[in-house]
């Protein structure tokens, strides 16, 4: 029954912790997402200001051009005498020159029946000359005295453009219409080059300008049969097949901003569901609407990261509170035990005093018992002190063993270099001595990095970032064990792929390689024809290094416990069994793996894999 209650209490306790952690994570997610959406909405408004100003400037540049054409006597004369060929050529050249100077796509003059009398592209095979566009809305509005602005697809060249038209009159009577067609394709190209997601929709909610080709001439809603008949009559989209743009509203952020999901059509790159913040604004002076889309992927990624961080911090705080409560409970139990011992002592003293008067005859025996008790208490205090001291020494011994294990090779190298430096100084070879001293300084600095790395490992810190050039790091590791290689007459054969880069701190990777080389050297001690083969290659986004020695290999029991702390097959006093455990932990922190096996041709083989670095090359 007590076990059931304990289990039930633990489940409730864990459920409460999970609820608190989830609550804080959800709060952090919502707060981060709300802040990011506000920033994105502000950024979208700034983009809308820029794009709207650019579009207005482009259209305003040509706004007065149709009216200026009515000031030309040749144009007015052609409208009165349309069959004069010389006058028509003169107006054609004038319009052609004006098009080149202004950058317009085309400029042409229509009579009051909608027939093109002169055009800037008169020399081209698909010229507008003689074409009748009386059905176009820009002609119908201009001929009755309205300045018309119209976007549509040309019926001759099938090219989209923005048409500006104005009536040309003589003594108050409309005698023709001047039309200027301009292309806005360069704006779309600029948006596309800037990776912007933007479109412009006309009054029919048809996308007429867009930074992505698949959005062009898509509808933002369903079209009625009346709309389709109207489009057939005006040929505004030249019978282009209009498809709806698959955009679903997920959340309304404000009156002109909403969170949407767009599904790209099949065959389009990154065809998938995407979340965007859509900001829409009507363009002044027209019935168009300008929309900007900003991807919400970074905002959601940041929100999830902050939620995870909030969950981790909450867990750490709750864990700290639990540990603090446990410490207080133990201290309370300890004080209660001490108080109980003190009360027992007082009761014992009281009983001794009460019986003293009755035990005068046994005084000598009582003194002997008191002395024995005193000796026992002294022995108890001594034993307690020894246990405390033993605990302290165990911690100090473990730390010392780790530091000694990692610094053994640098210290051996320092000893060799310092001895060689003395000899070179005695010979007057200052250049070599200076180089040795510089190497000694580098080794001392590296020893400091090793102690820092050990401290980080002890606290289970996050993996240190960095990129390692595999060949350079292996050179450093081989240098540290060079003396043992020469002393044991051990051959090292290297078969490496050049220029391999791994995402791992170079100092920590060097520690791993030194540990693996040291194990191989121990296995090859007194081995005739001793050989170490080191191979490296890149497999996709992973870098792999294998170290194979021709020693005796591992037993089945050793392979099961090889990476456990303090497990060693070496004689007592030779190894502590920490090297491979530390190496496996370092590699795991870097996102890699370290495995060991017996090679099919004999000996042991260690396989080290690490993530390949995909950024800029490392300079060493």
Contacts of 278 (CB under 8 A, 6+ apart): 247, 257, 258, 259, 260, 291, 292, 293
DSSP for 456-498 reads HHHTTPPPPP--EEHHHHHHHHHHHTHHHHHHTT-EEEEEE-T
Mean pLDDT confidence for 467-484: 86
| Whole-number average pLDDT of the chain | 78
Strand segments (E) across 283-321: 289-295
Tell whether 261 is covered by a domain.
no
Q: Which tens digit of pLDDT belongs to each residue from 377-392?
A: 667 445 433 433 333 3
More confident residue, 327 or 573: 327
pLDDT value at 555 more than 90 = no
pLDDT at 240 (0 to 100):
66
Q: What is the pLDDT of residue 385?
A: 35
- Mean pLDDT over residues 516-530, rounded? 87
Percent residues over pLDDT 90 in the chain: 9
User: Computed from CA positions of residues 361, 364, 367, 371, in that sequence, does the dihedral angle turn out positive or negative?
Assistant: negative
Residue 541 pLDDT class (50, 70, 90 cuts): very high
Clarify whether residues 433 and 483 are in a common domain: no
Contact call for residues 133 and 139 (beta carbons, < 8 A): yes
Instruction: Mark whether 470 and 570 lie in a shared domain.
Output: yes
Lowest mean pLDDT among 37-51, 262-276, 601-615: 262-276
Domain shared by 89 and 171, yes or no: yes
Q: Is 90 exceeded by the pLDDT of residue 573?
A: no
Q: How confident is the model at residue 2 (pLDDT cuts 50, 70, 90)?
A: low
Across 405-434, b (16+ Cβ under 10 Å) vs e yields: bbbebbeebbeebeeebeebeeeeeeeebe
What's residue 575's pLDDT? 56
Are 476 and 584 members of one domain?
yes
Examine the domain organization and report whether 469 and 451 are in the same domain. no
**Taking 90 as the threshold, does the pLDDT of residue 549 lie above it?**
yes
Q: What is the 3-state secondary structure (H, E, C) of 28-88?
A: HHHHHHHHHHHHHHHHHHHHHHHHHHHHHHHHHCCCCHHHHHCCCHHHHHHHHCCCCHHHH
Structural domain includes residue 150: yes
Which residue has better confidence, 160 or 549?
549
- For the chain, the distance separating the N- and C-terminal CA atoms, rounded to the nearest angstrom, is 66
Q: At 41, phi and psi to the nearest 5?
A: -65, -40
What's the domain count of the chain? 3
Pairing, β 160-170 against β 257-263:
unpaired
Q: Do residues 128 and 91 both lie within one domain?
A: yes
Q: Are residues 486 and 424 in the same domain?
A: no
pLDDT at 266 over 60: no
**Are the C-beta atoms of residues 610 and 590 closer than 8 Å to each other?**
yes
pLDDT reported for residue 608:
94
Could you tell me if residue 338 is inside a domain?
A: no
Q: Is the pLDDT of residue 593 over 90?
A: yes
Asked if 455 and 486 sit in the same domain, the reply is no
125-177 pLDDT, tens digit each: 888 888 888 888 888 888 888 877 778 777 767 778 888 888 888 777 888 99
Among 182, 201, 220, which residue terminates a domain?
A: 182
Task: Render pLDDT for 203-248 as a digit per residue (tens, 0 to 9).
Answer: 777 887 887 777 777 777 777 777 777 777 667 676 667 777 777 7
Strand 257-263 relative to strand 273-282, pairing: antiparallel
Q: Are residues 484 and 433 in the same domain?
A: no
Structural contact between residues 511 and 586, judged by C-beta atoms closer than 8 angstroms: yes
Is 171 domain-assigned? yes
Q: Is the pLDDT of residue 601 over 70?
A: yes
Residues 550 and 602 in one domain: yes
Strands (E), 377-522: 468-469, 491-496, 501-502
Q: What is the pLDDT of residues 14-67, one digit of tens each?
A: 888 888 888 888 888 878 777 877 777 777 777 777 877 777 777 778 878 888
H, E, C per residue of 350-367: HHHHHHHCCCHHHHHHHH
Distance, in Å, from the CA atom of 510 to the CA atom of 502, rounded to the nearest integer, reads 12
Q: Is the pLDDT of residue 512 over 70?
A: yes
Q: Phi first, then psi: what are they for 617, rounded to 5°?
A: -60, 150
Q: Which residues contact 197 (CB under 8 A, 6 or more apart)?
A: 211, 212, 276, 292, 293, 294, 295
**Of 60-69, 95-104, 240-249, 478-487, which gets the smallest average pLDDT?**
240-249
Look at residues 182, 199, 231 and tell me which one is the last residue of a structural domain: 182
Residue 534 has pLDDT above 60, yes or no: yes
Task: Specify whether 528 is located in the same domain as 438.
Answer: no
Residue numbers of the domain that contains 580: 465-611
pLDDT tier at 439 (50, 70, 90 boundaries)? confident
598 plus 469 within the same structural domain: yes
Answer yes or no: are the C-beta atoms of 101 and 120 closer than 8 Å.
no
Q: Which of 150-154, 395-399, 425-429, 563-567 has the lowest mean pLDDT?
A: 395-399
Domain presence at residue 104: yes
Report the predicted TM-score, pTM, of the whole model to 2 decimal places: 0.44
Inside any domain, residue 271: no
From CA 532, how far away is CA 481, in angstroms rounded?
Answer: 13
* Residue 20 within any structural domain of the chain: no
Statement: residue 271 has pLDDT above 50: no
Instruction: Among 182, 197, 230, give the residue marking a domain's end.
Output: 182
| CATH number for position 572 | 3.30.565.10
A 10 A CB-CB count for 363 gives 10
What CATH number does the domain containing 159 carry?
3.30.450.20
Strand residue runs (E) in 232-365: 243-244, 247-252, 257-263, 273-282, 289-295
Within a domain: 438: yes
């Amino acid at each position: 029954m007590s076990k059931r209650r304990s289990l039930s209490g633990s489940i409730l306790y864990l459920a409460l912790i999970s609820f608190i952690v989830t609550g804080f994570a959800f709060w952090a997610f919502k707060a981060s997402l709300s802040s990011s959406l506000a920033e994105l909405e502000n950024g979208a408004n700034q983009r809308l200001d820029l794009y709207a100003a650019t579009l207005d400037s482009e259209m305003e540049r040509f706004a007065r051009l149709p009216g200026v054409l009515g000031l030309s006597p040749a144009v007015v004369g052609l409208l009165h005498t349309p069959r004069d060929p010389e006058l028509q050529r003169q107006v054609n050249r004038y319009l052609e020159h004006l098009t080149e100077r202004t950058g317009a796509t085309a400029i042409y003059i229509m009579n009051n029946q909608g027939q093109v009398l002169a055009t800037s592209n008169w020399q081209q095979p698909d010229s507008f000359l003689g074409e009748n566009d009386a059905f176009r809305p820009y002609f119908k509005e201009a001929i009755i005295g309205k300045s018309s602005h119209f976007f549509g697809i040309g019926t001759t060249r099938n090219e989209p453009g923005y048409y500006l038209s104005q009536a040309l009159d003589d003594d108050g009577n409309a005698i023709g219409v001047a039309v200027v067609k301009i292309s806005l394709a360069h704006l779309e190209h600029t948006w596309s080059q800037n990776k912007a997601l933007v479109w412009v929709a006309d009054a029919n909610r048809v996308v007429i300008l867009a930074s992505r080709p698949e959005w062009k001439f898509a509808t933002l809603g369903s079209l009625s049969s009346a709309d389709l008949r109207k489009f057939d009559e005006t040929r505004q989209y030249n019978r282009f097949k209009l498809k709806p743009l698959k955009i679903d509203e997920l959340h309304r952020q404000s009156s002109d901003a909403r969170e949407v999901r767009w599904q790209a059509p099949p065959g389009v790159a990154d065809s998938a569901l995407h979340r965007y913040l859509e900001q829409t604004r009507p363009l002044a002076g027209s019935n168009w609407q300008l929309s900007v889309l900003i991807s919400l992927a970074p905002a959601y990624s940041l929100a999830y990261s902050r939620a995870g961080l909030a969950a981790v911090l909450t867990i750490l705080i709750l864990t700290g509170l639990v540990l603090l409560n446990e410490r207080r409970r133990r201290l309370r139990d300890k004080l209660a035990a001490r108080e109980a011992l003190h009360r027992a002592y007082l009761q014992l003293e009281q009983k001794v005093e009460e019986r003293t008067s009755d035990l005068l005859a046994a005084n000598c025996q009582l003194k002997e018992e008191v002395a024995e008790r005193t000796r026992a208490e002294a022995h108890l205090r001594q034993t307690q002190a020894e246990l405390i001291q033993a605990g302290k020494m165990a911690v100090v011994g473990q730390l010392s063993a780790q530091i000694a294990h990692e610094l053994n090779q640098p210290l051996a190298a320092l000893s060799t270099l310092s001895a060689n430096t003395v000899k070179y100084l005695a010979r007057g070879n200052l250049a070599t001595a200076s180089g040795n001293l510089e190497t000694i300084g580098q080794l001392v600095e590296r020893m400091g990095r090793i102690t820092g790395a050990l401290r980080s490992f002890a606290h289970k810190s996050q993996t240190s970032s960095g990129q390692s050039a595999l060949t350079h790091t292996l050179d450093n590791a081989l240098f540290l064990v060079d003396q043992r290689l020469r002393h044991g007459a051990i051959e090292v054969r290297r078969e490496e792929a050049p220029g391999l880069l791994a995402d791992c701190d170079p100092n920590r990777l060097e520690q791993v390689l030194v540990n693996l080389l040291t194990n191989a050297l121990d296995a090859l001690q007194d081995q005739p024809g001793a050989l170490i083969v080191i191979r490296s290659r890149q497999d996709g986004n992973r870098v792999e290094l294998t170290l194979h020695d021709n020693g005796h290999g591992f037993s089945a029991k050793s392979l099961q416990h090889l990476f456990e702390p303090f497990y060693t097959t070496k004689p007592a006093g030779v190894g502590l069994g920490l090297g491979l455990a530390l190496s496996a932990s370092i590699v795991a922190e870097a996102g890699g793996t370290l495995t060991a096996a017996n090679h099919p041709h004999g000996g042991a083989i260690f396989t080290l894999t690490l993530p390949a670095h995909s950024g800029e090359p490392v300079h060493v």
